[in-house]
DNA sequence: GTACTAATCCCTT
DNA sequence: AAGGGATTAGTAC
């Protein structure tokens, strides 16, 4: 056919787009838009170009007009002509081509589809072979009554379809990826706008606040403190109070930064011209409001700022602790007699920038360092330290109370590395003559290497002006804490540093030497207590198997008894000092000895002690005997009648004995007065004794026989009611531990002990009852009688 | 409108 | 010339 020939010959022309057809006059519809020969096929085949062209066409662009122009020169072709060109295939569909006539273009369906059977067959072959050769195609075309080229086209199209399907699938996968990335991107961008700490959920601060800024803040805190002190001095000078909160006489618009700079440079210079006629301190009243504005300059997120300051403080404290642990001379000066080393303050000040506020006037410093092997692994110990309750249980004779106020960071990746807690603690030495040390501090934990951890504490007083700021702070802990390193034998080497500033004026003369030597709250006390407690835990674990005790107590009974004894000792410690664990009311009754403190509290709803009015009386005395002699005397059940009224004048008998460590002095025992009478037959005495290089304890409480029976069989000890009494012994004098028996022939005071005697007594079964003077007298007499008896027995009557 | 499919165009091999 | 990618066009939904 001629028209078919036209098509073949016109293969050099190209159809550009189908869209213009619809917009063209009817006569033009059949006309293909022939493109200028200068636009080569290659150009059109370039996907980018062809897309651009099509877009242009759609927009009725130039190409559309070009097409129109070419149309004029092209030959006319009817729609039917095109039908003709493919009549062959149509015939197949129609069943016969007879009904079509060249003269009378048939209305046969130009559109057709292969029959389902044909498609089925084609598909089947396609699955086996998407690329059939000519022979296969020919065979198939025969079988399906299709033209060979139809089969060819079908396979071609099928392959293309397959390709587009795969493409589409890949596309959707890519789109998913893209969406995911976009979402991630948005999240990250959002996170960058408003950073959140992944550990604590609070606003992130790490790295956000420059080190410079941190230092400026610390400097500001220091200056503020300085200002306070200068104000106080100025007040004295002027005879009227000069507070740092006087009304501003400097315009508020004055740029804060310049003021800061002025203050930062020399403290006075920036404003000295204003104040030349005034005493030096006077202008500070004017200056101060700007100072108080400094924290307010960023009112947006106080806690956020606090956090960053806490973090900076913690890092500085950690740095200081590690250096304090690792450095020897000249920072620490070894003592000549082999005793504890002392801190070289000049070197200390040189080495470390002060990270908390300056030492208040009247405060003194104590610093100590000690180390020892402890039967615990570093990880377990760190866990104990980071848990306020377990920490307090581990050190009952030092910690009266502990709590975690805020977890600023819980640590990284599920470990305690990087954990930062805000804690509150009340520390005591067991004497009513030494006030409880209340400290608010940060505890920061860091893993320095595999099996090497460091935990540092540092007071935050001065950073956080909390609600208790009005209450007097009597102690601040400078960076203190420990580095613990695993040893291959299951032990850890613990090195402890304690560094504090405290108000010595509140401490009784008797105890000042103890505290300043670091023996009261110092490193040695922490380390020795830790060693003792861990040993007890280790024994407790192993005794479950060995059970070499001569008393027939089951392992569970042993555990129950130890638990009860632990509670007893904790209660004893809480009764000696006015810790806030119990709401003690201090008594100031007429004829109470000046150095005996008497307190009362109501006991209600505590199954662990009898209900009613509990009276606690405690005093501390110095005795010219070594701590070990005093300890051995007090814990000896056969000598008990010399001081204990419960013994009924005769020796006591040890009914049960549970060792808590290799030292005989660390044990829990059950005592019975051998001189029994009817009234006391049902009473036993539970006693716990502890001793280490830093001190010793003898704590006891009368207990019910049936109740103890339950406990010794492994029963719950929580319901055994007891009120503990006992003694706390600390060495007093240089180089004088409990086992240092060398009697100094010279000054007796050198080798003595400080003994605290404390009783907790139920004075009335009714919690509502009023305390009578008589009961106070009675307990006062009891305590002084006991002290006298002890003094007499040890021949140290003065 | 889009999706599907038979067919076409035209380049590459 | 065969094969195949790009494209067209008819139709169904």
Q: Where are the alpha helices (H) located in A522-614, listed in sequence order?
A: 523-543, 555-576
> What residues are paired with A496 via a beta bridge?
A370, A482
A420 has a pLDDT exceeding 80: yes
> What residues are paired with A683 via a beta bridge?
A704
| Residue with nearest Cα to nucleotide C9 C1' | A18
CA A290 from chain centre, in angstroms, equals 35
Spatial contact of A3 and A85, defined as CB atoms under 8 Å apart: yes
A743 has a pLDDT exceeding 50: no
Task: State residue A634's pLDDT score.
Answer: 92
Task: State residue A304's pLDDT score.
Answer: 62
Tell me the C-alpha distance between A512 and A510, whole Å: 6
- Of the candidates A68, A74, A73, the residue with the CA atom closest to the CA atom of residue A17: A68
Q: Which residue has the higher pLDDT, A572 or A408?
A: A572
List phi, psi (to 5°) of A64. -60, -40
Spatial contact of A280 and A268, defined as CB atoms under 8 Å apart: yes
Q: Which residue has the higher pLDDT, A202 or A254?
A: A202
Q: Which residue has the higher pLDDT, A606 or A508?
A: A508
Residue A544 — pLDDT band, cuts 50, 70, 90?
A: low
DSSP state of A246: P
A219 has a pLDDT exceeding 90: no
List phi, psi (to 5°) of A86. -125, 25
Tell me the C-alpha distance between A348 and A207, whole Å: 28
Helix, strand, coil % in chain A, rounded to nearest 5:
45, 20, 35
The nucleotide lying nearest A168 (C-alpha to C1') is: B3
> Phi/psi zone of residue A419: left (φ > 0), alpha (ψ -120 to 50 degrees), beta?
beta
Q: Which residue has the higher pLDDT, A131 or A197?
A: A131
The reply to whether A7 Cβ lies less than 7 angstroms from strand B is: yes
Q: Which nucleotides of C are covered by protein (CB under 7 A)?
A: 2-12
A631 has a pLDDT exceeding 90: yes
Give me the mean pLDDT over the A548-576 stretch: 80
DSSP state of A577: T
A656 has a pLDDT exceeding 80: yes
Q: Which of A111-115, A444-448, A749-753 has maximum average pLDDT? A: A444-448
- pLDDT tens-digit map of A407-419: 887 777 778 888 8
Tell me the C-alpha distance between A751 and A732, whole Å: 7
Range with the lowest mean pLDDT among A32-36, A478-482, A606-610, A667-671?
A: A32-36
Task: State residue A117's pLDDT score.
Answer: 79
A1 has a pLDDT exceeding 80: no
Q: Which residue has the higher pLDDT, A666 or A289?
A: A666
The reply to whether A86 Cβ lies less than 7 angstroms from strand B is: yes
- pLDDT tens-digit map of A298-336: 222 336 667 777 888 888 888 899 989 998 888 888 877
Footprint of strand C on the protein (CB under 7 A): A 15-18, 21, 32, 44-45, 47, 50-51, 54, 79, 82, 109-111, 131, 133-134, 152, 155-157, 159-160, 163
The reply to whether A89 Cβ lies less than 7 angstroms from strand B is: yes
A12 has a pLDDT exceeding 70: no
Task: State residue A309's pLDDT score.
Answer: 76
DSSP state of A592: -
List phi, psi (to 5°) of A298. -130, 75
The nucleotide lying nearest A151 (C-alpha to C1') is: B6
Range with the lowest mean pLDDT among A285-299, A635-649, A762-776?
A: A285-299
List phi, psi (to 5°) of A583. -85, 80
Q: Which of A31-45, A128-142, A777-791 has maximum average pLDDT? A: A777-791
Residue A572 vs residues A328, A597, A687, A710, A757: alpha-carbon distances, Å: 38, 14, 12, 23, 11
In DSSP notation, A736-780 reads --TT-----SS-GGGGEEEEEEEEEEEEES-TTPPPPHHHHHHHH
Give me the mean pLDDT over the A175-199 stretch: 64
Helix (H) or strand (E) holding A42: helix A41-45
Report the interhelical angle of A211-238 vs A256-266 (nearest 10°).
70
The nucleotide lying nearest A163 (C-alpha to C1') is: C5
Range with the lowest mean pLDDT among A230-234, A283-287, A376-380?
A: A283-287
Which residues 6+ apart lie within 8 Å of A780 measured at CB? A591, A592, A593, A596, A598, A617
DSSP state of A439: E
Range with the lowest mean pLDDT among A309-323, A587-601, A721-735?
A: A587-601
A269 has a pLDDT exceeding 90: no
The reply to whether A150 Cβ lies less than 7 angstroms from strand B is: yes
Spatial contact of A326 and A479, defined as CB atoms under 8 Å apart: no
Tell me the C-alpha distance between A432 and A576, whole Å: 6
Residue A181 — pLDDT band, cuts 50, 70, 90?
A: confident
Residue A585 — pLDDT band, cuts 50, 70, 90?
A: low
| Residue with nearest Cα to nucleotide C5 C1' | A160
The nucleotide lying nearest A87 (C-alpha to C1') is: B7
Residue A4 — pLDDT band, cuts 50, 70, 90?
A: very low
A476 has a pLDDT exceeding 50: yes
- The percent of residues above 70 in pLDDT, for chain A, comes to 61
Spatial contact of A311 and A303, defined as CB atoms under 8 Å apart: no
- pLDDT tens-digit map of A85-120: 333 333 333 333 333 333 333 333 456 778 887 888
The reply to whether A49 Cβ lies less than 7 angstroms from strand B is: no
List phi, psi (to 5°) of A659. -80, 140
The nucleotide lying nearest A132 (C-alpha to C1') is: C3
Q: Where are the alpha helices (H) located in A577-606, listed in sequence order?
A: none
Range with the lowest mean pLDDT among A41-55, A133-147, A153-167?
A: A41-55
**3 state DSSP class of A310:** helix
The reply to whether A22 Cβ lies less than 7 angstroms from strand B is: no
The count of other CB atoms within 10 Å of the CB of residue A785 is 12
Place of tokens 């004794």: A689
Residue A677 — pLDDT band, cuts 50, 70, 90?
A: low
A747 has a pLDDT exceeding 80: no
- pLDDT tens-digit map of A221-260: 767 766 765 665 555 444 445 554 433 333 333 333 322 3
Residue A698 — pLDDT band, cuts 50, 70, 90?
A: very high
A689 has a pLDDT exceeding 90: yes
Tell me the C-alpha distance between A733 and A755, whole Å: 13
Residue A479 — pLDDT band, cuts 50, 70, 90?
A: very high
Q: Longest C-alpha distance within chain A, in Å?
A: 149
Place of tokens 């961008």: A189
Residue A452 vs residues A379, A448, A486, A715: alpha-carbon distances, Å: 9, 5, 6, 39
Residue A551 — pLDDT band, cuts 50, 70, 90?
A: low
- Long-range contact pairs involving A341-344 (C-beta distance under 8 Å, separation at least 24): A341/A369, A342/A367, A343/A367, A343/A368, A343/A369, A343/A499
Average predicted confidence (pLDDT) for chain A? 69
C1' (C1) to CA (A166) span, angstroms: 29
- pLDDT tens-digit map of A384-407: 999 999 999 899 889 988 999 888
Range with the lowest mean pLDDT among A77-91, A372-386, A613-627?
A: A77-91
Residue A91: both structure tokens together: 């015939």
Q: Which nucleotides of B are covered by protein (CB under 7 A)?
A: 5-12
Tell me the C-alpha distance between A473 and A426, whole Å: 12
A529 has a pLDDT exceeding 60: yes
Place of tokens 């203050």: A263
The model carries a pTM of 0.59
- pLDDT tens-digit map of A53-82: 333 333 333 333 333 333 333 333 333 333
Residue A544: both structure tokens together: 């479950």
Q: Which residue has the higher pLDDT, A183 or A589?
A: A183
| Residue with nearest Cα to nucleotide C11 C1' | A111
Residue A530: both structure tokens together: 């830790």
Give me the mean pLDDT over the A739-750 stretch: 40
A133 has a pLDDT exceeding 90: no
C1' (B7) to CA (A7) span, angstroms: 14
Q: Which residue has the higher pLDDT, A634 or A611?
A: A634
C1' (B7) to CA (A107) span, angstroms: 18
A786 has a pLDDT exceeding 80: yes
């Amino acid at each position: 056919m001629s028209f078919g020939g036209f098509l073949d010959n016109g293969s050099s022309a190209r159809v550009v787009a189908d869209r213009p057809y619809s917009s063209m006059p009817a006569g033009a519809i059949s006309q293909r838009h022939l493109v200028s020969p200068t636009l080569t096929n290659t150009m059109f085949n370039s996907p980018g170009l062809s897309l651009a062209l099509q877009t242009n066409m759609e927009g009725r662009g130039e190409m559309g007009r070009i097409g129109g122009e070419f149309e004029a020169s092209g030959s006319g072709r009817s729609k039917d002509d095109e039908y003709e060109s493919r009549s062959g295939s149509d015939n197949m569909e129609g069943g016969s081509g007879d009904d079509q006539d060249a003269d009378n273009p048939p209305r046969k369906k130009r559109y057709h589809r292969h029959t389902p059977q044909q498609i089925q067959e084609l598909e089947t072959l396609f699955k086996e072979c998407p690329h059939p050769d000519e022979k296969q195609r020919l065979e198939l075309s025969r079988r399906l009554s299709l033209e060979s080229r139809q089969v060819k086209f079908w396979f071609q199209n099928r392959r293309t379809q397959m390709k587009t399907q795969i493409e589409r699938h890949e596309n959707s996968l890519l789109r998913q990826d893209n969406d995911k990335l976009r979402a991630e991107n948005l999240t990250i961008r959002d996170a960058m706008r408003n950073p959140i700490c992944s550990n604590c959920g609070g606003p992130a601060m790490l790295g956000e606040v420059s080190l410079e800024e941190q230092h400026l803040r610390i400097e500001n805190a220091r200056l503020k403190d300085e200002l306070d002190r200068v104000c106080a001095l100025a007040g004295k000078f002027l005879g009227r109070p000069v507070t740092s909160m006087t009304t501003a006489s400097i315009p508020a618009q004055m740029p804060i930064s310049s003021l800061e700079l002025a203050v930062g440079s020399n403290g006075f210079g920036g404003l000295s011209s204003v104040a030349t006629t005034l005493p030096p301190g006077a202008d500070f009243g004017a200056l101060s409001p700007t100072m108080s504005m400094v924290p307010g300059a960023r009112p947006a997120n106080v806690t956020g700022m606090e956090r960053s300051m806490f973090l900076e403080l913690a890092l500085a404290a950690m740095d200081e602790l590690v250096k304090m642990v690792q450095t020897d001379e000249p920072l620490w000066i070894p003592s000549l007699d082999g005793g504890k080393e002392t801190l070289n303050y000049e070197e200390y000040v040189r080495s470390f920038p002060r990270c908390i506020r300056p030492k208040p006037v009247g405060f003194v410093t104590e610093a100590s360092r000690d180390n020892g092997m402890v039967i615990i692994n570093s990880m377990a110990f760190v866990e104990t330290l980071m848990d306020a309750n377990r920490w307090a249980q581990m050190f009952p004779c030092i910690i009266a109370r502990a709590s975690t106020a805020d977890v600023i960071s819980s640590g990284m990746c599920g470990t305690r590395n990087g954990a930062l807690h805000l804690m509150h603690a009340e520390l005591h030495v067991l004497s009513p003559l030494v006030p409880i040390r209340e400290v608010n501090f940060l505890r920061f934990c860091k893993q320095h290497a595999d099996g090497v951890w460091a935990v540092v504490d540092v007071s935050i007083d001065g950073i956080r002006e909390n609600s208790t700021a009005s209450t007097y702070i009597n102690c601040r802990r400078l960076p203190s804490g420990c580095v613990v390193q695993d040893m291959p034998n299951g032990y850890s080497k613990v090195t402890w540093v304690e560094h504090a500033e405290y108000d010595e004026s509140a401490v009784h003369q008797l105890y000042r030497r103890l505290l300043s030597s670091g023996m009261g709250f110092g490193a040695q006390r922490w380390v020795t207590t830790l060693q003792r407690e861990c040993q007890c835990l280790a024994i407790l674990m192993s005794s479950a198997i060995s059970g070499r005790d001569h008393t027939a107590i089951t392992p569970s009974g042993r555990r129950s008894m130890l638990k009860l004894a632990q509670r007893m000792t904790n209660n004893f410690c809480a009764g000696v000092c006015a810790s806030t664990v119990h709401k003690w009311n201090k008594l100031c009754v007429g004829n109470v000895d000046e150095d005996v403190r008497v307190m009362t509290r109501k006991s209600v709803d505590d199954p662990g002690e009898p209900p009613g009015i509990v009276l606690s009386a405690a005093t501390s005395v110095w005795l010219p005997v070594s701590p070990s002699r005093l300890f051995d005397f007090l814990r000896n059940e056969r000598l008990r009648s010399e001081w204990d009224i419960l013994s009924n004048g005769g020796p006591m008998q040890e009914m049960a004995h549970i060792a808590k460590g290799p030292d005989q002095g660390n044990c829990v025992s059950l005592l019975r007065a051998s001189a029994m009478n009817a009234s006391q037959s049902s009473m036993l005495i539970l006693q716990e004794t502890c001793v280490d290089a830093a001190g010793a304890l003898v704590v006891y409480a009368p207990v019910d026989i049936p109740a103890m029976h339950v406990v010794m069989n492994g029963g719950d000890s929580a319901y055994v009611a007891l009120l503990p009494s006992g003694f706390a012994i600390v060495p007093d004098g240089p180089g004088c531990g409990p086992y240092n028996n060398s009697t100094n022939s010279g000054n007796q005071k050198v080798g003595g002990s400080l003994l605290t005697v404390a009783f907790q007594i139920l004075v009335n079964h009714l919690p509502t009852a009023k305390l009578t003077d008589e009961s106070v007298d009675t307990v006062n007499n009891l305590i002084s009688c006991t002290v006298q008896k002890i003094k007499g027995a040890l021949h140290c009557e003065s």
